[in-house]
Each structure stands twice: as structure tokens, then as C-alpha cells.
Structure 1
Amino acid sequence: MTGKQTTNEPQHKRDLTRRKVVVLGGAAMAAVGAGSVLAMTASADEAGASSTSTSTASNNAETCYKLTSETTEGPYYIDADKLRRDVTEDQEGIPLTLRLKVIDSDTCKPLANAAVDIWHCNALGVYSGYEAMGSGGGGGGGGTPPSGSPTGSPTGAPSGSPTGAPPGGGGGGGHEEPTDDERYLRGTWRTDKKGEVVFRTVFPGWYQGRCVHIHTKVHVNGTWTDAGYEGGTTCHTGQLFFDEASVLATAEVEPYSTNTTTRTTLDEDTIYPGNGTEGGLLKLKYKKGAIANGVVATLTMGVDPEATQDGTSGG
């Protein structure tokens, strides 16, 4: 909060004022959800994270909001400056409305005019720009598998550097050069004066070695031009995650039901930090028994606008 408190102000009044600030956000969310026919899915981790954040804000005004966890950028980021809110193009899948709010984790003030990137695979686990790598870049896609047993002994010493994405790409590993000009399920848009940005996309699928997720970056201090967003720094690189119940529900819907890749669960994933909303776990709303009609996903991301977090070193 801004402004000074006088020494004559009773302690209980100061606590009440602070409590109003903390509770206000929850009341606004409740108003939005009133009368909705959508069902909220939430984990114990989410509830714990919310409780912790409220307690912290009440006991220590210096700490406003927990930093959202940093993760690796993954091999498939393309700085295409494709400015758009609807990134779906011709991709089939369950409609997903992604509502993100970006705030300064220290002051709780919204970050306006920040550039937010999102990118993710399609329902079958394929990334645009990297279709030749198959599902998640694990080396899939076409060809006849080798048969028989190898004969002879290898000779000579290996030379050069290994190439290709690691199995379960999209989590770790160095950047891969694009293999094609496709750019579906990728886009950048600016936050409004409330720090909010909304994307239209489809519910992501899965591929070898990774749970269902969306990649994101937040850029600040740059300049918006007709050509895109220029300059500035990347203050957050993270991933957004989906609870297991929602993913199981999507697996019954085409084209997700045709994805035969063995799925990695949220608990099995090596990138998800396991700390609920603080770690990027989205809050989801959809109609029970009818997830195919669409999902609304929301998350508030606390970032440090003074930091540089490009995700190349694991966050």
C-alpha cells in the first residue's frame, strides 16, 4: 500500500485496512464466478499456495506476492513477434481461453504494456516450426524402424557435438533451429493497465517425457512498434501446467484420444516444481462431463521486473 500511517492510528484499524487489501482480490474472483455453470478444478497444492500468500501478505507488508517459479525455456522457442491473441490457426482441439495477470511480486502492482509470449504443442504433441521432429521432438515421425541385430564392433572415436532434441523435448536441452515455417499455437500480446492478457488457443496435448504444459515468457522495458516488440529484457520464463483430472478428461475427446504416446503425469514430470499455482499450475473452469465445450484457465504470475530470466540456464 502507498501512503504513511500515523502513529496515533489504532493497531486493529491498520490490520483491518491491510486485510481488506488481501481479501479484495478474492471477492472480485467470487463475483466473476457467481452463477456460473462451470466447474472449478483445484488441487490441495493450489489451496496451500493461496493460504500461504495471504498469510505472508498479512504478516509482512514488504512481501506482496510469491515469485512464480522459473523454468527452462526448452528447445522450441521462436522469437517470431507474431502479435496476436488468437493463436489457434487451423489446429483442432478443445477451445482454451488463457487469462494471465502479471504483477510485480514486490509491490503487487500490475505490469502494464509487458509483452507475454506463449507457445505449446498441438493435441498430438507436435510443435509448430518443428514438425519434422515429430511428437515433442523425440525423434518421431515417419520412416521404417530398423530390423535385425547390429553386427561388428564400432570403430574410431566419436567426433562433433550431439544433435537433435532430447527425448521429451520442450523441457530441457539447448535451443533447436526450426525445421519449417509453421507458427500455429504461438503468439505474443501486451498486458493492459491491469496487467492482464488473454489468449485464445486449444488445450495442449502431450508427448514423450513431459506432462501437458504451455511455455511462457514475460518481457519488460521494451518498445511496441508496428513491427512488433523490440528491446527490453525477459523478466520471467516459465511453464503453465494442468491438473491430472482435466488431462484425463481431454484424453477421451478427439483428436487427443488418437494420441498413442505414453503420457507423463504431472507428478512424474521433471520440470513441474510441484508447488501449485506458484509453480505455474493453472486454475481451470469447465463444465463437468463436457470439457469438449471449452476450458477457461487463469493464473496470476508474480515476477521481478528488474531480473533477467531468459530460461537458458534452467531458471
Structure 2
Amino acid sequence: MEEDLVELLASTRVTCRLLVEQTQGPYHRAVHPERREITEDRDGLPLRIGLRFLAADGATPLAGVLVEVWQADHVGRYSGFPSFEARPGQVVTSESVPRDVIAAGETYLRGSQRTDERGMCAFNTIYPGWYASRTVHIHLIAHLGDRSVTTQLYFPDTVTDEVYRRPPYRGRPQRDTTNATDSIFADGGEQMILDLQGDPTTGYTGVLCVVLDRQARPASAAGPSAESDD
């Protein structure tokens, strides 16, 4: 990892947050190549994410944690799945979102990394796009042995607004959901907002230090969620 990213993560230790359990959503796939660069051919503002995982004591680094991430591209589409645009006034539910994989070979914006001896890992990606009924987010599952915790990473609304005023995001309609109106974010999402540095022209670096409780639910219990959104 780059030294600036290591320093940023180290400096967030005093504000390390408990990793919040949130819904997995319908777009998870068993396709997460072990790689740092997950963008592939997707257009978007460069985003570098640095994560640090500590044990429940808030001091001991957790090495070897397998961290999966996946997200939507700048038009709100997940690799493998068809685009989904809600009709005006449509209530989005898990039944109304297309869940059939139509392009099994697509892997963009999906990947995994193991934390190093400092409990750190990083991903190079793009700023996510939005889709109906959800605020901007990135999905994450942290696997520690036979335990796992599923959560979502978020962004300050003011930053998202700035990013979405620029291409390739600005050609889309105005997003319909913010952090303040997202039902999933309301359940602990404030703790999972990335600390961002950068600008909406050249890109951002987002870091987060989290405490991972070893008493997280077994990995076998972290199956597809019945929640309404991804």
C-alpha cells in the first residue's frame, strides 16, 4: 500500500468505529476476483479506498481478513445484472428488482483483498452511481475465519452532489434518495461514511477504520437478504 494511504489509515485509529451489520441485498455474486484494481472498463471519477480492521479491543490489527466489495457503475448497474430503472411512483421491492444474471462473464466493480499484518487493505475503483430508492453506497463483506459481517460503505451527500454535477454522472436524472432519506442508511449508516480527501475533478481517497467483532454471525448465515433494496 502507498505510504500516504497507510498514514491516513493509521491516523484514523483513534476514531475507529464498530463495523455495522447491514443488508447484503440482491446483487451479491460468488464472483469476487482477489485484486485491488476492480474498475475494469467502467467510466467514473477515480476512487481509492483504504480500510483497516481492528479486533474488539480497538488496538490489535486483524490480519488475513478476506474483504469482498461490490458496487454499481456510474449508471447504477451491477456487473452481471440488467439495468433497472423504476417507473415513476413505483415502490421498489426485492421482487421488482431483476435478480437473474444475464452476463456471467462480467466482473467489473467486484473484488476481494486480504488484510495485511497491519489489518489494512485497499481497492481502486470509481465513485458509485445511484439507482432507485438507494443512497450512494458500496457493499462489503468481511470474513474472519468461519465468521462474517456484511455492511455498506457510504459517502457524504455534499460530496456526492458535487461529483454528480460532472461527467459521466451529470447526464442522468437527479437521484431520488439521499443518506437522509435512505431506510438502510438510517440503521447505523452514519458510522460507515468514508473519510474522504480529494476533489470532484481528479478523484478521492476514502478511508475507514473499523472494529470487527469476532462474535459476528457465522458465514453460513450471511445469505441473500430479504430487504427491499441492494
Give the alignment's TM-score, normalised by structure 2.
0.81
Unaligned runs of 5+ in 1: 1-27, 34-49, 55-64, 141-165, 222-231
Aligned to 2:193: 281
Find the structure with the greater CA-based Rg.
Answer: 1
Would you tell me which structure has more strand in proportion to its own residues?
2
Deviation at 1:276, TM superposition (A): 6.1
* Residues 71 and 311, structure 1, Cα contact 8 Å, conserved in 2: no
Name the residue aligned to 1:233.
147
Distance 1:209 1:202 in 2: 21
Question: 1:74–1:174: 8 Å Cα contact kept in structure 2?
Answer: no
When residues 213 and 30 of structure 1 are mapped into structure 2, their CA distance, relative to the original with a 3 A threshold, is: closer
CA separation in 2, counterparts of 1:71 and 1:30? 23
Q: Which structure is richer in relative contact order (CA contacts within 8 A, separation 6 or more)?
A: 2
Identify the residue that residue 263 of structure 1 maps to in structure 2: 176
Which amino acid in structure 2 is aligned with residue 306 of structure 1? Q
Distance 2:93 2:202 in 1: 29
How many residue pairs match? The answer is 214
**Residues 186-244 of structure 1, C-alpha deviations (whole Å, 9 max, x = no match):** 000110001100100000010110010000000122xxxxxxxxxx332x100000011
Amino acid at match of 1:102: F
Equivalent residue number for residue 212 of structure 2? 303
Q: Counterpart of 2:48 in structure 1: which amino acid?
A: T
Aligned partner of 1:216 in structure 2 is 140
Q: For 1:64-93, what per-residue CA distance to the aligned partner results, in whole angstroms no more than 9, with x for missing partners?
A: x65221100000001214111000000000
Judge conservation of contact 1:267–1:274 (CA < 8 Å) in 2. Answer: no
Amino acid of the structure 2 residue aligned with 1:284: L
| Aligned residue number for residue 161 of structure 1 | none
Pairwise CA distance, 1:178: 1.9
Paired with 1:92 and 1:253, the residues of 2 have a C-alpha distance of 12
Structure 1 position 84 matched with structure 2 position 35: yes
Closer, same or farther: CA 190–90 of 1 in aligned 2, 3 Å: same
Matches for 1:110-125 after TM superposition, within 5 Å: 110-125=61-76
Task: Show structure 2 runs of 5+ residues with no match.
Answer: 1-6
Query: Aligned-pair distance for 1:270?
Result: 0.8
Distance 1:175 1:73, change over 3 A: farther
Separation (CA, whole Å) in 2 of partners of 1:186 and 1:194: 23
Q: Describe the shift of the 1:29–1:99 C-alpha distance in structure 2 as closer, same or farther (beyond 3 A).
A: closer
Change (3 A) 1:75 1:251: same
Looking at structure 2, the residues matched to 216 and 173 of structure 1 have their Cα atoms a distance apart, in angstroms, of: 23
The letter for the 1-side match of 2:138 is I
What root-mean-square deviation, in Å, do the aligned CA atoms of Structure 1 and Structure 2 show? 3.0
- For residues 34-86 of structure 1, give each alpha carbon's deviation from its aligned partner in whole angstroms, at most 9, with x where no partner exists: xxxxxxxxxxxxxxxx9xx87xxxxxxxxxx6522110000000121411100
Once the 2 structures are TM-superposed, how far is the Cα of residue 108 of structure 1 from its aligned partner? 3.0
Q: Identity across aligned pairs (percent)?
A: 31
Q: Which residue of 2 aligns with 1:71?
A: 22
Counterpart-to-counterpart distance in 2, 1:105 and 1:302:
6
Corresponding position of 2:53: 102
Residues 238 and 175 of structure 1: is their aligned pair in 2 closer, same or farther, counting only changes over 3 Å? farther
SS at match of 2:201: helix
Aligned residue in 1 for 2:4: none
Greater helix fraction, Structure 1 or Structure 2? 1
Partner of 1:267, secondary structure, is: helix
Offset from partner CA, 1:158-194 (integer Å, 9 cap, x none): xxxxxxxx7276xx99993422121100000110001
Structure 1-normalised TM-score?
Answer: 0.61
Instruction: Output one character per residue of 1:4-44: Cα deviation in whole Å (capped at 9) or x when no partner.
Output: xxxxxxxxxxxxxxxxxxxxxxxx659979xxxxxxxxxxx
Aligned partners of 1:174 and 1:312 also within 8 Å: no
